[in-house]
């Protein structure tokens, strides 16, 4: 699958600068085993972060805590907007987009139908149409094909598109290049560069090629 030669339009977003995610003495355990503990960290909008560590070390669990899909066992996590307004944890889902191996697309839909459905509850960047998104990720020739007939790499491109083009200040990427070939890796980096400069980007991975652009690194093993 070749990427498109589509030229990036002027990208405008409703996002404001200054969104932060603050963890204070955060800890998560399963039964008696602590996955991480005493984690104090601030993630700031417009910056990129890598959460590193070996397989099974708790990287994905940390992302799930940040996404509020699982709760901390100790400590607190706070989400604040530009005005320093605190966002309730139960409302943070509208402020973030995520890519993860355990999250699936709706395979009975076409790519166009899936992105349209997704945009009904999480708006996409207003200045880029769904047709343009599919051209950008190199799937313009499969626009009317059901996703269940896509290769694993094509499905991963759709996963990336629904998150990267979401008009949200937080982008969580858990092993974002799963099933991508070298061309897919190149596309991934181009998408991050072109459309994510004003987001909080947090990448969970032990593959340096997935997070080599990140400005800061957090090793989960430092919080055991």
Q: Per-residue pLDDT tens for 149-204?
A: 999 999 999 999 999 999 999 999 999 999 999 999 999 999 999 999 999 999 99
The single-letter DSSP state of residue 125 is P
* Any domain includes 8: no
* Any domain includes 57: yes
* Any domain includes 5: no
Question: Total structural domains in the chain?
Answer: 1
What beta strand segments (E) does the chain contain? 20-30, 33-44, 48-52, 74-80, 86-87, 96-99, 170-174, 200-204, 216-219
Return the residue matching tokens 């969970």. Answer: 204
Stronger pLDDT, 21 or 84, i.e. the higher one: 21
Reported pTM: 0.91
CATH number at residue 92: 3.40.50.300
pLDDT in tens, 64-123: 999 999 999 999 999 998 777 899 999 999 999 999 999 999 999 999 999 999 999 999
Rounded CA separation 24/3 (Å):
42
Q: Which residues contact 144 (CB under 8 A, 6 or more apart)?
A: 110, 112
> Is the pLDDT confidence value at 9 over 60?
no
> Is the pLDDT confidence value at 2 over 50?
no
Domain region containing 210: 20-223
Return the residue matching tokens 């890598």. Answer: 50
Per-residue pLDDT at 83: 72
* Any domain includes 15: no
């Amino acid at each position: 699958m070749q990427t498109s030669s589509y030229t990036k339009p002027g990208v405008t977003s409703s996002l404001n600068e200054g969104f932060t995610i603050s963890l204070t003495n955060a800890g998560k355990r399963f039964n008696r085993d602590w996955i991480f503990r005493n984690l104090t960290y601030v993630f700031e909008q417009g910056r990129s972060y890598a959460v590193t560590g070996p397989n099974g070390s708790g990287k994905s669990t940390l992302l799930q805590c940040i996404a509020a899909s699982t709760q901390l066992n100790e400590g607190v996590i706070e989400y604040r907007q530009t005005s320093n307004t605190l966002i309730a944890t139960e409302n943070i889902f509208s402020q973030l987009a995520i890519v993860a191996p355990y999250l699936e697309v709706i395979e009975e839909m076409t790519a166009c139908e899936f992105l349209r459905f997704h945009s009904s509850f999480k708006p996409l960047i207003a200045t880029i149409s769904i047709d343009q998104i599919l051209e950008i990720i190199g799937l313009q020739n499969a626009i009317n094909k059901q996703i269940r007939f896509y290769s694993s790499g094509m499905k991963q491109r759709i996963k990336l598109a629904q998150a990267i083009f979401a008009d949200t200040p937080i982008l969580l990427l858990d092993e974002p290049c799963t099933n991508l070939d070298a061309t897919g890796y190149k596309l991934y980096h181009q998408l991050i560069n072109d459309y994510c400069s004003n987001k909080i980007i947090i990448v969970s991975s032990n593959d340096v090629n997935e997070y080599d652009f990140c400005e800061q690194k957090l090793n989960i093993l430092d919080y055991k």
